Structure 1
Amino acid sequence: MEQQIEAKLTGTDSTIDGTLEPIAYGNFTKAYEFKSVDGTLHLVIAQEADGEWIRLTGTEPYLSSWIDELAAQVS
């Protein structure tokens, strides 16, 4: 399985640094967990069979653009 990578998200006020790690999640073949360095943000995303990336779970609130940002960092 792939290794953990450093990731960045564009927040409303600043950049959010964190790690992105592949995980096993349900029937999804590609799922990743993002955790911010400061522990305030947690997101799990996965790629559906049609190739679309979706958010499965995580902290609220979140920006929907983060799903695309994270997907681009694992592609």
Structure 2
Amino acid sequence: MNLKQHFLVEDWILNTNYDFSLFARNHSYALLDREDDLALRFCIEDEVIQVKKMNGWNCTFTIDTKKKVITFYQELED
């Protein structure tokens, strides 16, 4: 997955899915939904070597040579 700089902020954006965008800066990540509402913010303290989409809401992070999959759950509407 290619990193590209978002023109509105100084963060890096990872376009992983039609439903959400993942922004990264240093060790901070923010997940935004289609309407650009903040869905989730989290930190990974170790060095992230690579981020890539797996499928659906799963993202694979290669962190210090160890792969970790983070699954984002879409909130169900009532």
Q: Same fold per TM (> 0.5)?
A: no
User: So what's the TM-score if we normalise by structure 2?
Assistant: 0.39
Structure showing greater relative contact order (alpha-carbon pairs closer than 8 Å, 6 or more residues apart): 1
**Rg (Cα) greater in structure:** 2
More strand by share: 2
